[in-house]
Amino acid sequence: MGVEVRDPRWLAAVPGAELVVGLEDVGECAAAGHRVTALLDLVPRTVASIGGLAADAVAEGARKVRVRPRGVDRVDLVYAAVELNRVAEEDAVEVQFDVTSAALLRADPSAFVRADPLVVKRDGTVVPICPGLERYALGALGSFDDLVAAWDPGPVLELCRVALDRALADTGPLVSWYEHLTRTAAGPRASC
């Protein structure tokens, strides 16, 4: 099971976790010797500059760039995909764009009904898949292994099924999966 931490202090508690931080923290974390994934939000005001932001993250020491769409339209998703592909090729860096194709959702829906990765937020709260799913939190980090052992991922898997149905109704070629999850989670729990 993959684990992401959003603050380097949690790396010791979860060996092998991926350190995922915002652009403002990349330089400091990289200078401290950590392998850093830069998390960039793709929102309407950053669409035109997403390629430059990704290149800045690499210049600051990020070894991977991850882009999370929030409230952008289908055209912006396609534009960003092209820009991020350019950055990946020019800077020889891994780029993770948190979108998927509608075709893949249809072809392999079981790949989207899962309760991982686990994310350790800055405050030590452990949530499944991505921030925004706090109502499904495992708890606060003390013993990571104890949290995982006591956790019932069933409600998260049901959330994924409901979000998948909604995402499959989306007619665009690219789908922001995490955005579908967080919007579904923000709704009444009875719908999950």
User: Each residue of 123-136: pLDDT tens digit?
Assistant: 999 999 999 999 99
| Domain range enclosing 54 | 3-186
Could you give the number of structural domains in the chain?
A: 1
**C-alpha span between 77 and 46 (Å, rounded):** 12
The pLDDT of residue 192 is 37
**C-alpha span between 41 and 102 (Å, rounded):** 21
Q: pTM, whole model, 2 decimals? A: 0.79
Highest mean pLDDT among 119-123, 141-145, 184-188: 119-123
Q: Which amino acid is at 188?
A: P
Nearest one of 25, 89, 80 to 57, comparing CA atoms: 25
Percentage of the chain exceeding pLDDT 90: 66
Residue 119 phi/psi, 5-degree rounding, is: -120, 125
Tokens 């534009």 locate to 79
Chain length of the chain: 192
pLDDT digits (tens, 9 = 90+) for 154-169: 999 999 999 999 888 8
Does residue 54 form part of some domain?
Answer: yes
Does residue 22 form part of some domain?
Answer: yes
The pLDDT of residue 143 is 74
- How many CB atoms are located within 10 Å of the residue 20 CB? 23
Query: Can you tell me the mean pLDDT for 36-42?
Result: 96
Percentage of the chain exceeding pLDDT 70: 97
Tokens 């989306």 locate to 170
Does residue 192 form part of some domain?
Answer: no
pLDDT digits (tens, 9 = 90+) for 59-96: 999 999 999 999 999 899 999 999 999 999 998 899 99
Query: Can you tell me the mean pLDDT for 2-28?
Result: 93
Does residue 191 form part of some domain?
Answer: no
Does residue 92 form part of some domain?
Answer: yes
Does residue 72 form part of some domain?
Answer: yes
